Amino acid sequence: MNKRIFLSPPHMGGNELSYIQEAFESNYIAPLGHNVDTFEAQIKSYTGAKYALALTSGTAAIHLALRVLGIKEGDEVMASTFTFIGSIAPILYERCTPFFIDSDTASWNLDPNLLEEELSHRASTRKKQPKALILTHLYGQCADVKRIATICEHYGVHLIEDAAESLGATYEGKQSGTFGKMGIYSFNGNKIITTSGGGMLVSDDEALISHARHLSTQARDNAPHYEHTEYGYNYRMSNIVAGIGRGQMEVLPERIERRREIFEYYRKAFSEVPEISFMPELKGSLGNRWLTTLILPEHLSPERIRLSLEEQNIESRPLWKPMHAQPLFHGTKGRLNGVSDMLFQRGICLPSGSSLSTDELEKITFHLKAVMAHN
């Protein structure tokens, strides 16, 4: 049987079921309970963030960040263009206007030079500045976040870190998601750890997290009946799901170590192919290598590679199509340099799950080399 090799499947640690059983035995199935409290505490301890809020998704976390930071209809929000739609959709939820910033070649993440050029130009021409920047740490690799945070602070722009893919990645020893005013993580089914679906909002600002917590449970005021002075959402993580998160946090260091080993395997396997280049890691940073991503030679089509691997029941994926190139955002303004377009046209994600065996890695590289040799 030709067993399917997935891009990034869930990898359980062993204690998840026991924590789920605890929730059943206590009958705390709803969005509260010991698992939720413990999972939030684990995230705080691991990342160094002072406050954490467990939610239904990373997208919900970004949405709440915009709400509690006072971003409102008609405001402009800058964002990485080379990202997943979940980073950008909350901007639309709040009827705000996105403005996209392209990538650099040093990290494939948001280019701090483009950001500074745009904000500086606005300042010199007295054009209105954006209210916030949503910065994505792509594929588990840190952006030049320290410089970006400094730029945002100088121009009075709230920095929201989309660390959905980069839990465990560090820049100068500090965890991604903890440089900005607020940060978010995702525990979707294909992330480095998963709760099947879920997210976390973190901040060092207690008032912001407290307000987000209030909004995440339909903004119910403190009254014996249902009293509301503002509207909220049904965004709170359940105690069952949080039990999975507890078990996953116990093995996160192992998962990062294994993903980095897998990246090194691929890098060494293709070290003699100079036309191939892998996603770089900024000096002073340490990525979690959630997905191993690479740029193919110009004559090779990522789609042809994907289809060839699919014939062997091996899942791969193109790199993100930039948001400025999406039909949904046709005509949206941005400061672009063509880097993300090039990455999309020539890049591919290889299977990177932490449960990959050596035999599976050998199979993937064998077939990928075979395709390259015949093209």
- Domain CATH code at residue 331: 3.90.1150.10
The answer to whether residue 67 scores a pLDDT higher than 70 is: yes
Collapse the DSSP code of 232 into the 3-class scheme (helix H, G, I; strand E, B; otherwise coil) and give the result: coil
Residues 176, 161 contacting (CB under 8 angstroms): yes
Domain end (from 249, 272, 292): 249
User: What would the pLDDT profile of 122-165 be if each residue is shown by its tens digit?
Assistant: 999 999 999 999 999 999 999 999 999 999 999 999 999 999 99
Q: Cβ distance 5 to 364 under 8 Å?
A: yes
pLDDT surpassing 70 at residue 1: no
Domain tally for the chain? 2
Q: Would you say residue 344 lies in a domain?
A: yes
Check whether 191 has a pLDDT greater than 70. Answer: yes
* Residues 195, 118 within the same domain: yes
Confidence of residue 77 (pLDDT cuts 50, 70, 90): very high
**Among residues 230, 249, 268, which one ends one of the domains?**
249
Are 138 and 222 contained in the same domain? yes
Residue 319 identity (one-letter amino acid): L
Residues 6+ apart with CB under 8 A from 295: 276, 277, 278, 342, 343, 346, 347
Residue that has been written with the tokens 């996953």 in this structure: 248
- b/e sequence 205-236, b meaning 16+ C-beta within 10 Å: eeebbebbbbbbeebeeeeeeeeeeeebbebb
Q: Is residue 259 part of a domain?
A: yes
Residue 297: domain span: 252-373
Are residues 265 and 199 located together in one domain of the fold?
Answer: no
pTM of the model: 0.96
345 assigned to some structural domain? yes
What's the CA gap between 16 and 70, in Å, rounded? 37
Mean residue pLDDT of the chain comes to: 96
**Pair 231, 258 in one domain:** no
User: What confidence tens digit (pLDDT) does each residue in 354-373 have?
Assistant: 999 999 999 999 999 998 88
